[in-house]
Amino acid sequence: MMQAFVRDESGFIVSAELILVSTILVIGLIVGLVELQASILHELDDLGDAIGSLNQSYSYAGTVTTKGVHNITTAGSAYGDLSDVSCCDCNDCFSLYCTNPSIKEGSGS
């Protein structure tokens, strides 16, 4: 019985293959999820830049209507949307994913 147990290797080969395949699948899954995260962050950054670049300016002219001796007036209004460089409405000032490393003061470089 002991000799039959020593010669029986069918379970060992299947287990080793299963561990190898599952390890490769887990590593591939991790790499795939990291790339998915990077793609989603880039798309959200593009969406934020598109929303920030919308021009919300408007204007409308006033009206004057005369009814007999009365003048009825409506004042006009205007609003101009300017880009806020300090709040990063532009694509040049900030990126969600690829940011430049900052140099700390007193680090000697």
Per-residue pLDDT of the chain (109 residues; tens, 9 = 90+): 777 777 776 656 677 788 899 999 999 999 999 999 999 999 998 888 888 777 788 888 889 999 888 888 888 888 887 766 555 545 555 555 555 545 555 555 4
Kindly list the distances between the CA atom of residue 26 and the CA atoms of 31, 34, 35, in Å, as whole numbers in the listed order: 9, 12, 14
Please report the pLDDT score of residue 91 as a whole number.
Answer: 52
Q: Are residues 98 and 42 in contact, defined by beta-carbon separation less than 8 angstroms?
A: no
Please report the pLDDT score of residue 45 as a whole number.
Answer: 87
Q: Are residues 79 and 56 in contact, defined by beta-carbon separation less than 8 angstroms?
A: yes
Taking the CA atoms of 18, 20, 23 and 27 in sequence, report the sign of the dihedral they define.
Answer: negative
| Helical segments of the chain, H only | 2-7, 10-52
Please report the pLDDT score of residue 84 as a whole number.
Answer: 60
Please report the pLDDT score of residue 109 as a whole number.
Answer: 47
CB atoms near residue 96 (< 10 Å):
14
Give pTM, 2 decimals. 0.47
Which run of H or E residues covers position 71? Answer: strand 70-74
The domain locations on the chain are 2-79
Please report the pLDDT score of residue 55 as a whole number.
Answer: 79
